[in-house]
Structure 1
Amino acid sequence: MKETSWINLPSLSLPVKALFTGYIFVVGLGLMMAGAQIMLTHGMADGKLGVSIDDIVYSYYGNRNGSKLESKLLGSMKDKASPEENITMIKWARDGASEAEWKTTIKPIVDAKCAMCHANIPTLPNITKFEEIAKIAEVDHGADVTALTRVSHIHLFGISFIFFFVGLIFSLSVGFKQWHKAVIIFVPFAFLILDIASWWLTKMNPNFAWFVIIGGIGYSLAAAIMLFTSLYQMWIMPLRGQHSDTNAWLEHN
C-alpha cells in the first residue's frame, strides 16, 4: 500500500505545523524536566549525583545494610540538615530508633529542618510523627508495593499518551519505508513496558537494575528521533527544496 503523499509533514498547513511544533517543544521540555527530576531523586540514592546501578538498586530493592532514613540523609536529603544532625539521626536509626531519644534529640531536628515539607505536603511521609519516622528508620527494603503500583499505573497511562501523539505526528513523516516507521513508532511503547516491569523485577532481585536504565534510554532515544525528525521535515525540508524530491520518492514506493 502506498503512503498518502498529500498528507505528510512537509506539506502540512502553517496552523497545523504550529500546533505540532508547540506540542513537540512542550513534550521535549517535559522529558528534560523528567530527566532532571530523576537525577535529583533516584540519582542521589547513593549520595552521588548521576544515575548509577546502585541508585536503581537502592530505589527499588533497597539498601538492606541500612534504613531508608539513612539512605535519604546520605543522598537526596543530605543538604537539608547539618552533617552533625544527619549523623545524629543516622545513629539513632541504627541504635533501634527509641521513642525516648526521639522526643529529646531527634524531634527538635525534624521540626526545625524537615517539618516545612514533611508536615505539609500530603505525598510525603509526615516524619514529625514518631510512628511515621519509625517506619523509615527500619531496614530499607526499597520501594513500597503500594507506591510502586501507584507510580506504575500513572507512568503507563501518562507516558503512553505522550508516545501516542508523538508517534501520530511522526507517522506523517516521509522518506521511511512503512515497516521502518512502524518499528520506530512501536519501540518507545516496548521500552516503556520494559522500564516499568524492571522496577518490579529489581524490587525482587537487584540484578535486574540494568533493565531500568536500558528501558529509560531506549524510549528516550526513540522519542528524540521522532521529535527531531518531525521538526526537520516540517520546517527545514521544505526550505531546502526537498518537498518535490519527497513526492517523487513516494510515487515510487
Structure 2
Amino acid sequence: MTSKYTPLKDHDTPVKVLFTGYLCTVGVGYLFALIQILFTHGMADGKFGLSVDDIVYSYYGNRSGTVLEQQLNGAMKENAPEQERFAIMQWARDGADFDSYKDDGIEKIIETRCVMCHNESASGGVPNFTKFDTLKEYAKQDEGATFASLTRVSHIHLFGISFIFMFVGLIFSFAETTSTKLKCIAVGMPYVFLIADILSWWLTKIHPMFAWLVILAGMGMAASFLYMWAISLVEMWLFKPVFVSGLGMHYLQWRDNLKSDENKARLDKASVLFNGTAKQLERLAKLGLEKWSSTVWPFIKSLIKK
C-alpha cells in the first residue's frame, strides 16, 4: 500500500533543516520556560525548587501573611538585605500607614530596592510602586493570583502554546515508526493537558487541594511535547542507526509481530479483560463520587467555614 505522506527521513534536506530549526528553537524555549517557572513560582515558599506549597502560594495565596511578605521571602528575597526586608514586612503587618511609610524609611528602601523595576514604565503586569496606593494594595493579605491576572495569562497561554503544539504535532505526524493510533494520542494529549493546566490554576485559586492538578497537567504536557520532539528529530537524522541497526529495530519488530493472528487473539483476550476492569473501575469511581458529594466535600466545607 502506498504511503499517504512522505516520512520524515525522506523529506528534502532543506525541509528537514526547517523542521529541525523550529524544533530546536521551541525546545530551547520550553527549557527556558521551565527555568523561569523555577525562579518565579518555584520561589514562592522561599525555597528553590517547585513544590505543592509553591503552587498553593502562587494561585491560592499564603493567607497567613501579606503579598509583600510573601514576595520578599520568595522570588524577591535576593533583591534586598534581610534588615530592609524585615522593615518592609513589619510596616505591612502594622497596617501600611502612610506616615510610617515616610517616617520609618520605608519609602527610601522602596525607591532604592524596588522602583528600578516596579515603575510606571514596567510591563507584563509588574506593579508600579512609585504610587503609594498601589504599594498598599500589596500590603494586604496574600490571596494569590487575582482573577484579572488569571484571565490575562490564561488567554495568552491558550493561544500561544496551542500554536507551538500545532506545529510540533504537524511535524510529528510525518513519523513512520509510530502507529496512527499512537500518533493521534500523542498529538491530542498536549491540548488536553494544556486545558487541564489552565483549568487547574482557576481551581487552585478557589481551593488549594487542586494544586496537585497543576503539577500533573504540567508534567503531562511536557512529556507529550518531549515525545513528539524526540521522535521527530531522531527519524529525520538518525533513522538508520536507531531504527534499522539500533535499539529501535527491536521496537519495530515487536510492533510488526503484534499484527500476527496469534498476537491478535492475545490482544482480543487482553481487551476483554481490560474492558471488564474498566467497568469495575467505573463503578468504583461512581461510588467514590457519591461518597465525595455526600460526605467528604460537606466535611471539607465545614472545616473551611471554621
Partner AA of 1:178 in structure 2: T
Q: Which moved more, 1:234-243 or 1:212-221?
A: 234-243
Identity score, percent: 47
Q: Which moved more, 1:68-77 or 1:112-121?
A: 112-121
Q: Which moved more, 1:152-161 or 1:168-177?
A: 168-177
1:32 counterpart = 2:31: yes
Deviation at 1:124, TM superposition (A): 1.0
Contact 1:107 1:128 in 2 (8 A): no
Q: How do residues 96-111 of structure 1 correspond to structure 2 at under 5 angstroms?
A: 96-104=95-103, 105-111=105-111
Distance 1:66 1:56 in 2: 16
Deviation at 1:8, TM superposition (A): 1.0
Aligned to 1:125: 127
Deviation at 1:177, TM superposition (A): 1.8
Instruction: Give the TM-score taking structure 1 as reference length.
Output: 0.93
Secondary structure at 1:116 match in 2: coil
Q: How do residues 42-61 of structure 1 correspond to structure 2 at under 5 angstroms?
A: 42-61=41-60
Distance 1:66 1:141 in 2: 9
Instruction: Give the TM-score taking structure 2 as reference length.
Output: 0.77
RCO higher in structure (CA 8 A, sep ≥6) = 1
Aligned to 1:218: 220
Contact 1:45 1:55 in 2 (8 A): yes
* RMSD (Å), alpha carbons: 1.9
Aligned to 1:192: 194
The one of 145, 148, 151 aligned to 1:146: 148
Deviation at 1:238, TM superposition (A): 3.9
Partner AA of 1:174 in structure 2: E
Distance 1:124 1:113 in 2: 15
Secondary structure at 1:138 match in 2: coil
Distance 1:62 1:241 in 2: 49
Distance 1:163 1:240 in 2: 25
Deviation at 1:65, TM superposition (A): 0.6
Distance 2:241 2:150 in 1: 48
1:168 counterpart = 2:167: no
Partner AA of 1:84 in structure 2: Q
Aligned to 1:231: 233
Aligned to 1:76: 75
Contact 2:5 2:174 in 1 (8 A): no
Aligned to 2:279: none
Partner AA of 1:129 in structure 2: K
Deviation at 1:240, TM superposition (A): 6.0
Aligned to 2:84: 85
Partner AA of 1:100 in structure 2: D
Distance 1:138 1:192 in 2: 32
Secondary structure at 2:20 match in 1: helix
Deviation at 1:219, TM superposition (A): 0.6
Deviation at 1:175, TM superposition (A): 1.9
Distance 1:6 1:89 in 2: 63
Deviation at 1:242, TM superposition (A): 3.5
Contact 1:44 1:75 in 2 (8 A): yes
Secondary structure at 1:117 match in 2: coil
- Per-residue CA distance 1:88-107 (angstroms, 9 max, x = gap): 00011111111111122211
Secondary structure at 1:207 match in 2: helix
- Per-residue CA distance 1:192-244 (angstroms, 9 max, x = gap): 0110000000000000000000011101011001001000000000456839x
Distance 1:3 1:26 in 2: 33
Distance 2:68 2:4 in 1: 59
Contact 1:10 1:238 in 2 (8 A): no
Distance 1:151 1:240 in 2: 40
Please say which structure displays the higher CA radius of gyration.
Answer: 2
- Which consecutive segments of 4 or more residues in structure 1 shift more than 6 A? none
Aligned to 2:179: 177
Unaligned runs of 5+ in 1: none
Partner AA of 2:166 in structure 1: F
